[in-house]
Amino acid sequence: MTAATPLKELPRSGNHHCFGCSPANPSGLRMRFFTDERAVYSRVTVPGHLCGWSNIVHGGVLTTILDEIMSWSAIYLLKRIALTRSINVEFIKAVRVGHELRAEGRVTQTNGKYDAETEGVLIDPAGEVCARAGAMFKVFSPAIARRMEIADEASIRWFEAIFEPGERS
> Residue 89 is inside which H or E element, if any?
strand 81-91
- Quickly state the pLDDT bin for 52 (edges 50, 70, 90): confident
For the whole model, what pTM was predicted? 0.88
Query: For residue 72, what pLDDT is reported?
Result: 93
What is the pLDDT, as a whole number, of residue 19? 65
Angle of CA points 9, 58, 132, to nearest 5°: 55
Q: What are the backbone angles phi and psi of residue 100, rounded to the nearest 5°? A: -75, 130
Going along the chain from its start, the domains and CATH numbers come out as: 16-162 (3.10.129.10)
Q: Is the pLDDT of residue 26 over 50?
A: yes
**Mean pLDDT across the chain:** 87
C-beta pairs of 11-15 under 8 Å, 24+ apart in sequence: 11/158, 11/161, 11/162, 13/155, 13/158, 15/154, 15/155, 15/158
Percent of the chain scoring above 90 in pLDDT: 59
**The one-letter amino acid at 127:** G
